[in-house]
Homo-oligomer: A and B are copies of this chain.
Amino acid sequence: MENKIKIHLADDHQVLIDGMLAVLKTNSNFEVVGFSLNGENLVERVAKNGTDILVMDINMPEKDGIQVLREFNEKGFTCKVIVLSSYDDAKLIKEVVKLGASGYLTKQCAGENIIDAIRTVADGEQYFSSTIKDKIFNIFTNNSQNQAMNTEEIISSITARELEILNLISQEKSGKDISEMLDISVNTVETHRKNLMKKLNVKSSVGLVIFAAKHNLIEN
């Protein structure tokens, strides 16, 4: 009989950890050797208990998944990582892949998929869910053949501040209104507006609002 696959789980949601434990217990080839509710000391713990595969969320307190991956690279650890995130943001996927993760699943996936993923990654291959594969494919194709950016990437290139301002614009606020609400200069607001228009490739604030509405970037 071969050795069991040693798994470490990292997610700030206890219920999810518990659920995963239950799911993974059904497979006698898996052994969960530890779990973490945040990113602190995660790298050390994983290294210490000889983990084969780390199944990790991105959003975690103290230290997020991206930082953990980076640390893995810096310290030259070879533990394989499967990212299990709520988000399927193009920018995030790109980053995660670049940092050498072996797999990426969204939390919409079934427990079945996680088992598949672990098995696949344990065999030395990579595992990405089909929706993620599509995104990667889109990023790749739209990036190389077109000079234009992919909509996915456009959206994920919007910064937090820009999104904030995009929202206010979508609420009929003028530049001046916004500058007062955020306590910044009108010039700054207009710079953001300008940058947004360039990014989203639209001609006016109306274009911004249409784009925002179409891609559910605005609450309301």
Name the residue of chain B whose CB is nearest to the CB of A213: B213
- Residues of B with C-beta under 8 A to A205: 204-206
Q: Does A71 contact B (CB under 8 A)?
A: no
| Stretch in contact with the other chain, from A76-84, A97-105, A166-174 | A166-174
CA distance A203 to B174 in the complex (A): 9
Query: CB within 8 Å of B: which of A196-220?
Result: 202-207, 209-210, 213
Query: Is B210 a contact of A170 with CB atoms below 8 Å?
Result: yes
Bound complex: CA of A207 vs CA of B205, how far in Å?
A: 11
Pick the contact of A172 from B170, B207, B213 — CB < 8 Å?
Answer: B207
Q: CA of A213 to CA of B172 in the docked complex: distance in angstroms?
A: 14
- Whether the Cβ atoms of B174 and A204 lie closer than 8 Å is yes
The 5 closest A-B pairs by CB, nearest first: A172-B207, A172-B203, A206-B209, A172-B206, A205-B206
